[in-house]
Amino acid sequence: MNNFKRLLVAFDGSDDSVNALQTAASLSKQLDASITVAHVYNETASAISPDAVRPYPANTAYLADGMNNYPITPAVDEDPARNARSEDDPEYTGGHSTEVTVQAQNILEENMCSGEVKVLDGEPAEAIALYADEIKADMIIMGSRHISGLKKLFSESVSEKVTKNAKVPVMII
């Protein structure tokens, strides 16, 4: 039988992940297990900010529908020192991760549990499975998004991907 002493909870602030964290808090008390909450910030999925675009030079306009159109491209800063950001910096995640981590910490406190809250970077399913290995988690607990219809035919949910890739049991709430 497995001894579940280290629980990893995937948390994104959704109602499903709140339920998963509350379930993990209850389980941690019953099993005398520690909790680590992981929120994944996927920088590549973030929208390009208006500050990151610049117009083409004036002589590169093209004509469409009788009007000049000037395409814009993302501005790329060639200086890596100016692009360096810390995951602890709220500007790195646009502030959203800070809100989510505070929400997770509040849920832990409301349930009288202590736990560690981490922000990971990358593709969510991969980051969660890798982090579970890194911290030697005994179980991953996460919410389900209940994808249905055509979306389900063409894409897997994060919880399905984690279940396929994780080396430990995954509880989907």
Q: Are strands 62-64 and 67-69 parallel, antiparallel or unpaired?
A: antiparallel
Per-residue pLDDT at 56 exceeds 80: no
To the nearest whole number, what is the mean pLDDT of the chain? 79
CA distance 7 to 10: 10
Q: Give the other-Cβ count within 10 Å of 152's Cβ.
A: 12
Residue 112 or 69, more confident: 112
Q: Tokens 């979306």 appear where?
A: 151
1 pLDDT more than 80: no
Q: What is the arithmetic mean of pLDDT over 36-40?
A: 97
Mean pLDDT for 155-166 is 89
**Helix, strand, coil abundance in the chain, percent, nearest 5:** 40, 25, 40
pLDDT value for 157 = 86
The confidence score (pLDDT) of residue 145 equals 75
* Cα distance between residue 115 and residue 6, in whole Å: 10
Domain ranges of the chain: 6-44+86-172, 50-83
pLDDT band, residue 11 (cuts 50/70/90)? very high
* Residues contacting 86, CB < 8 A, separation 6+: 92
What percent of the chain stands above pLDDT 90? Answer: 55
The residue assigned the tokens 């973030």 is 46
Q: What is the CATH number of domain 6-44+86-172?
A: 3.40.50.620
Instruction: Report pLDDT for 80.
Output: 46
**Residue 20: predicted pLDDT:** 97
